[in-house]
Structure 1
Amino acid sequence: MKRLWTPAWILRHVALVVLVTGFLALGWWQISRAASGNTLSWAYAVEWPIFAGFVVFVWWREVRHALRGTRAAPPPAAAPGGPAPAGTTVGPTTPAVRRPVRVARVPAAPVDGADDADLAAYNRYLTWLNANPGARPGDYPG
């Protein structure tokens, strides 16, 4: 429960109170406008409480997610050099960060009659980008 009283969570709690109060106040304001003859305000009078309910829903889901994360107990550790206890998995329980697959690409054949200097420079730039898939355009040495 202490996890819900960090500065980030206190900010979320305050945002919940401010948003729900504001949305319900706007809904009440729309009801008063609708009662004085503005028929479009009836739709807005219904929408603002729905927005407040959505804020409460998202807040509640985040609270449950935060509390669920603290309840998970780590799996029992295996003895060094020995087998893992029965019913446990070996290795990390969270998926590892996967790097993109690099695919070998065949460079395109040069176009006949490409004697335009700008086109040749642009083609060299594209060839360099193709040869260095992780590089940013600003890394181009040319």
Structure 2
Amino acid sequence: MRRLWTPAWIARHVAMVVLVVGFLGLGWWQVTRAAEGNALSFGYAIEWPVFAGFVVFVWWREVRHTLRGTPAERPTPAPPAAAGSEPATAIPAVRRPVRVSRVPAAPAAGAEDGELAEYNRYLSWLNANPGTKPGDYPG
């Protein structure tokens, strides 16, 4: 619970209260305008409380996320061991994708594609001139 009383969280609490009160006040203002005959204000009278509800939703989600803690703080339960088997090694639940880089085949000796050579010159020029726009390429 102490995590919710840091200076950053106090600022979030205050911002949430100010936004909700402001949005509800704007909604009430639109209700009074709608009562005076402004038909468009009926839509805005509904819209502002929805904004206030969204602020409360985001604030509550962040509070719950903070109270749950990070995965390092939470204890991990031991996996159930089957009878007569060796303990399994821990396998992460989420794996990162592995990118395999493939080297393009080298052109035959002396045979270079003209478009490829021009594109490589263009890339070299862009690398040598980092502040310029691609449209400034002289070639």
TM-score (norm 1): 0.63
Q: Alpha-carbon deviation of 1:43? A: 0.6
Q: Alpha-carbon deviation of 1:62? A: 0.9
Out of 119, 124, 132, which is 1:122 matched to?
119
1:1-142 alignment, distance < 5 Å = 1-69=1-69, 73-75=74-76, 87=80, 98=96, 101-107=99-105, 109=107, 110-111=112-113, 114=114, 120=117, 122-124=119-121, 126=123, 138=127
Q: Alpha-carbon deviation of 1:94? A: 7.7
Q: Tell me the amino acid that sits aligned with residue 122 of structure 1.
A: Y
Paired position in structure 2 for 1:132: none
Paired position in structure 1 for 2:84: none
Superposed CA RMSD in Å reads 3.7
Unaligned runs of 5+ in 1: 77-84, 129-136
Tell me how far apart the structure 2 counterparts of residues 87 and 138 of structure 1 sit (CA, whole Å). 55
Tell me how far apart the structure 2 counterparts of residues 125 and 93 of structure 1 sit (CA, whole Å). 44
Q: Tell me the amino acid that sits aligned with residue 15 of structure 1.
A: A
Q: Alpha-carbon deviation of 1:86? A: 6.5
State the 4+ residue runs in structure 1 displaced beyond 2 angstroms: 70-76, 85-96, 107-111, 119-122, 137-140
Q: Tell me the amino acid that sits aligned with residue 100 of structure 2.
A: R
TM-score (norm 2): 0.64
Which is bigger in relative contact order (C-alpha 8 A, separation at least 6)?
2
Unaligned runs of 5+ in 2: 82-87, 130-139
Q: Alpha-carbon deviation of 1:138? A: 5.0
Tell me how far apart the structure 2 counterparts of residues 94 and 7 of structure 1 sit (CA, whole Å). 34
**CA distance 1:23–1:5, change in 2 (3 Å):** same
**CA distance 1:20–1:3, change in 2 (3 Å):** same
